Structure 1
């Protein structure tokens, strides 16, 4: 299983917290007909993206990008001690897999300069904070945490109507600790990192592009969850806030990177997760690299 990649002058590490069966394909992707699933079952299983019961296999992971100047963590996964009763494997988790993965890649929590969230869903913010003496404190004490302002505002308004636990325990404590930066689409880190707006999954969902003067790598978050969405970009999961906008964004993203050398790094594709976008018929494939 590949956990380390190179792109330009970047080194990219995958920190996998969990990988396995998630939801039945036809439940997660409402537009997936039995005929379409049958047509694509064989290659999906061969790619490790579907099991024998037609359940999608997803990875839940962070990426760490080492640039010549910074160490940047993208999407902080699920987290420990978080009350997540609707997801038993995430609920009040206490294992050390994530921190062991961090250590085996050669990093400690003190080494991270930036934590950047593509969006603020539960499985992308969990390790933003850890429990210390009954309080939620930033896990990465030296990091600035980068949140898209439109995304933050959306969840602030949503949380005002009914409490959103991941926002309360994994985002607001970072703001209270004065470690957060609410940014717009013009945010950049030196000449190595830029924001690419990718709305639809959530209103303020963004991707992050890395590379000096060109996109050597792009971190796509939940723009797509499974390889079948590259082949059929109009297949939107039930978690998309605006499925039509997400489908349009997805196709535009895939067109942008099709037949380039940009390394595409989605949050949830099964191992090895990353690849290069290539055209296939009216859709695309993400050809894996090792």
Structure 2
């Protein structure tokens, strides 16, 4: 991804009358063993040989996966909707790369034209550590909502599950990034098919977590989907059978991919991967018995550099 002064340049897509801007918190090569049980770097390279479109954007020459943690801001009429709020700063985390981060995410967000107070809605596709972190920030030793004027939309099934279930890494993610939103009166419990406005709605995609949702954007006959973690890497487009070791229910996650991918792979829908390395979004289409992303059709009406 292009950078200015060492910091990532936002990616922007246009979908009808809606603009989607991606603000990156991190963009790093990731070992496939972190995500997929029994998949080595050699296995990734063999899969990239079979599905050449995975290189160079999503697979390195060494067999690492190019993965990204980012937040998408959807501008639809008067609405500014932040989808997935990354890892956050100052959080006590078991993962060494995420522990006590001191990154410039909020500055990058403001520089892109989105000061936190201007965000109207926050959507968490699910409540894992790298999707809720900037829900809150540390203010005078207390966790306060980062987006003070926003409605934070939590899928009821997802909220109920994680309010009673220990985090994957044993961290107090719910306590520092979700419960303070409830305490501040900003949380809104919604269904997995919730519609925010005419252009933006939820698409139920369970399996990775019980109440996982993807986000559908539709305007003037154009359509985009922000995946969340129902697919972690484009590797799973090339092999929809591949489930992440972080899936709560790997079989349900696999069934969800087989259910929704045929609809999304119409050769028109822009797929924006929540963890896909740059360019992060492409047109989804069939590729034999699997799927792929195509980038030549992502033109100026859908994508432009930040």
SS in 2 for 1:125: helix
- Map of 2:174 onto structure 1: 167
Q: How does 1:176-215 map to 2 (within 5 A)?
A: 176-212=183-219
- 1:118 is aligned to 2:125: yes
Please report the TM-score for the alignment, with normalisation by the length of structure 2.
0.87
- Map of 1:133 onto structure 2: 140
Q: How does 1:1-290 map to 2 (within 5 A)?
A: 1=1, 3-22=11-30, 24-30=31-37, 32=39, 36-42=43-49, 43=52, 46-85=55-94, 87-96=95-104, 98-159=105-166, 164-212=171-219, 216-288=223-295, 289=298, 290=303
CA contact (8 A) 1:209 1:215 kept: no
Distance 1:172 1:201 in 2: 22
The Cα shift of 1:185 comes to 2.7
Distance 1:47 1:120 in 2: 31
Task: Summarize the Cα distance change of 1:31–1:68 in structure 2 as closer, same or farther, 3 Å threshold.
Answer: same
SS in 2 for 1:18: strand
Distance 1:269 1:114 in 2: 23
Runs of 5+ unmatched residues, structure 1: none
Q: Output the aligned Cα RMSD.
A: 2.2
CA contact (8 A) 1:31 1:236 kept: no
Distance 2:171 2:98 in 1: 16
Point out the more displaced range, 69-78 or 42-51. Answer: 42-51
Runs of 5+ unmatched residues, structure 2: 2-9
Please report the TM-score for the alignment, with normalisation by the length of structure 1.
0.92
Task: Summarize the Cα distance change of 1:130–1:35 in structure 2 as closer, same or farther, 3 Å threshold.
Answer: closer
Distance 1:190 1:163 in 2: 36
Distance 1:82 1:229 in 2: 30
Number of positions where the alignment pairs a residue of Structure 1 with one of Structure 2: 286
Point out the more displaced range, 119-128 or 47-56. Answer: 47-56
